[in-house]
Amino acid sequence: MSRKRIVVIGGTAAGPKAAARAKRLDENADVTLLQKAPNLSMASCGYPYYVAGSVKERDKLLATPAGVVRDPAFFAGAKGVAALTGTEVTAIDRAAHTIAWKRAASGETGHLPYDKLIIATGSSPKIPPIPGRELAGVTTLASLEDADLLREKAKAMPGGRAVIVGGGLIGMETCEALTDAGLAVTVVEALPQILGFLDPELALLVANHAKAKGAAVLTGVGLSEILGANGAVSGVRLADGRELPCSLVVLAIGVAPNVALAKAAGLELGATGGIKIDAHMRTSDPDIYAAGDCVEVTNRLTGQPMLAPYGDLANLEGRVAGENAALGDTATFPGTIGSGICKVFDFAAGSTGLSERRAREAGIDVVSAVNAGSDIPGFMGAKLLVSKIVAEAKTGRILGFSCVGPGNVNRQVAEMAMAILGGLTVDDLAMADLPYAPPYSLAIDHAIASAHILQNKMRGLMRSVGNGEIKARLDAGDRPLLLDVRGPKEFERTRLGLGETLIPVGQLRKRLAELPQDKTTPIVAYCGVSMRAYEAQRMLLAAGYDNVTVMEGGLAAWPFAREK
């Protein structure tokens, strides 16, 4: 019996995983991995930390947990895979079951036969057609070579100025990296907010934090031109005419799937522009699979196709593709709910499932609630979390969760990802049995407390309003009575300064006479995180006030200007 020939194109994330899985499941297979770049299995998500210097050694981005560099010798010895670097696949001949390759360094060319082929060609950064993009000092952060360049420039220009175009994951991580390296950084985002996977009120909190760390963040304005002198960057001109001097521009507006090879071979592309695959990661050719950033996958909540260029998903997809290439179609990839997280200075920003905005865009009727609170008890060194939970209005099924802050965001997002994947409702989560000890959690974990808030809201036990709606009402001249129910010392430390009334919640029952006697007067109650505000609302409702709402998240979640 002849040995099965499995060829994998692409050596960053999905490709190496697919090759290793295929060989592990079929030791007799001949598995060949071809990589255009000079390196294999690059930890591209680690590039910003290498630029900042927190990852000091370049090889750490190429090594196993045991410290062994994943080079061709490693793949040959440990994995039994023939890995060819610096080798570009130039064509796929589906009829002949061969691929054509070329080595850039030597110009050598050749062909390689396959029985099963796996395409893992990844993605490339989007380069907008902006005048000046060819100037020296304009770069992306998509390759190890880009990271080398940025690291060297950051070392060479302490106190210099950099502009990052794009406020997504890579843009904000690069903002932190260059700021920590001593540069004055401005993020320019054409959309109204950074981090588009968040709803606006949470994104604004992250932007405020970045500003507090010394970065400038400009939203709602695009870039019209990169300015230069003597062939090098000297600044940028924004769409509104403003000019920002700088000597470094990082383009971070997203990535596009690398599908040219697949398209030239006649493989079907999907509506998003990625390679169309089925649940087995199989393309329109039954002998060709595809995985990673170059494919479109299914959103498990909406059923719609989407691009999901994330390293963890690339590995999962590659695992499925490798198994199926080796054993037949025994494994499936069910799609994604879109979980992600990034570090922005001392904040983390994470989400899973659908934001409220994206759920409504998908035509889903949803309810939501914002929760601000601690990750662990105060006596254990608590840190703040601000989150938003989204559920289907009719069924209570949890559809999304976002969380930002200096606390343990990752735990909260991970818990909620499993709740979404498990089809849990708000009522299910409200009684979840999670591990508790003071060093790790509150007695009622933040995720469970979020469910309690939304449960109260859905049952009509709490009426609440988001801070964005409050701000819009105030700006329009619609001024409800703002009732601050904290203590006087808290009020002196921080306050809105918008003409609010201070009545501590413990005194509220005795001081009702200080409130408007027209009990239909709109009242918005709040405190630090609005837990006491909910108590105040219940008191006022019992006293006959029928137009009382709670400001969701309280002052901790208020992202707008205030007096203190």
- Residue 370, beta-bridge partner list: 388
User: Do residues 498 and 482 make contact, with C-beta atoms less than 8 angstroms apart?
Assistant: yes
Tokens of 255: 């990535």
Same domain, 265 and 232: no
Question: Are 48 and 15 found together in one domain?
Answer: yes
Burial of 215 (0-12, 13-18, 19+ CB in 10 A): buried
> Does 337 fall in a domain?
no
Q: Residue 518 sits in which domain range?
A: 464-557
Q: What is the pLDDT of residue 157?
A: 87
Provide the residue type at 317 as one letter: E
In a domain, 23, yes or no: yes
- Is the pTM value of this prediction over 0.75? yes
Quick check: is 129 in a domain?
no
Distances (CA, A) of 464 to 156, 393, 557: 52, 15, 14
Q: Which two tokens stand for residue 434?
A: 């999670």
Do residues 236 and 323 share a domain? Answer: no
Q: Which of 416, 443, 458 is the last residue of a domain?
A: 458
Total domains present in the chain: 4
By C-alpha distance, which of 48, 56, 305 is closest to 168?
48
Residue 559: CB atoms within 10 A of its CB come to 20
Question: Which residues are bridge partners to 483 per DSSP?
Answer: 501, 525
CATH of the domain at 303: 3.50.50.60
Beta bridge pairs of residue 350 = 341, 403
Closest CA to 223 of 136, 138, 137, 128: 128
Residue 488 belongs to domain with CATH number: 3.40.250.10
User: pLDDT, tens digit, for every residue of 176-190?
Assistant: 999 999 999 999 999
Q: Are residues 119 and 150 in the same domain?
A: no
Rounded Cα distance, 352 and 339, in Å: 4
Q: How far apart are CA 324 and CA 332, in angstroms?
A: 9
Residues 143, 61 share a domain: no
3-state class percentages of the chain: helix first, strand second, coil last, to nearest 5: 30, 25, 40
Q: Provide the pLDDT for residue 158.
A: 84
Same structural domain, 307 and 355: no
Would 452 be classed as within a structural domain?
A: yes
Give the whole-angstrom CA distance, residue 385 versus residue 557: 9
22 belongs to a structural domain: yes
Cβ distance 369 to 454 under 8 Å?
Answer: yes
Contact 457, 367 (CB under 8 A): yes
Cα gap 76→145, rounded to integer Å = 25
pLDDT tens-place string over residues 492-513 = 999 999 999 999 999 999 999 9
- Residue pLDDT tens, the chain, 564 long: 579 999 999 999 999 999 999 999 999 999 999 999 999 999 999 999 999 999 999 999 999 999 999 999 999 999 999 999 999 999 999 999 999 999 989 999 999 999 999 999 999 999 999 999 999 999 999 999 999 999 999 888 888 999 999 999 999 999 999 999 999 999 999 999 999 999 999 999 999 999 999 999 999 999 999 999 999 999 999 999 999 999 999 999 999 999 999 999 999 999 999 999 999 999 999 999 999 999 999 999 999 999 999 999 999 999 999 999 999 999 999 999 999 999 999 999 999 999 999 999 999 999 999 999 999 999 999 999 999 999 999 999 999 999 999 999 999 999 999 999 999 999 999 999 999 999 999 999 999 999 999 999 999 999 999 999 999 999 999 999 999 999 999 999 999 999 999 999 999 999 999 999 999 999 999 999 999 999 999 999 999 999 999 999 999 999 999 998
* E strand map for 375-478: 384-392, 398-405, 464-465
- Give the tokens for residue 344: 């922005």
Indicate whether 447 and 399 sit together in one domain: yes
Judge if 27 and 97 occupy the same domain. Answer: yes
Q: Tell which of 438, 458, 478 closes a domain.
A: 458
482 occurs within a structural domain: yes
Residue 564 inside a domain? The answer is: no
Residues 120 and 263 in one domain: yes
Cα 229 from chain centroid (whole Å):
36
> Looking at the structure, do residues 233 and 264 belong to the same domain, yes or no?
no
Read off the tokens for 7.
Answer: 């060829």
233 and 274 together in one domain = no
Q: Is there a domain that residue 401 lies in?
A: yes
Q: Collapsing DSSP states into helix, strand and coil, what is residue 473?
A: helix
Q: Are 291 and 121 in contact (CB under 8 A)?
A: no
Q: Which of 327, 358, 380 is the last residue of a domain?
A: 327
Cβ-contact 175, 344 below 8 angstroms: yes
- Does residue 248 share a domain with residue 220? yes
The interaxial angle of helices 409-421 and 446-458, nearest 10 deg, is 50
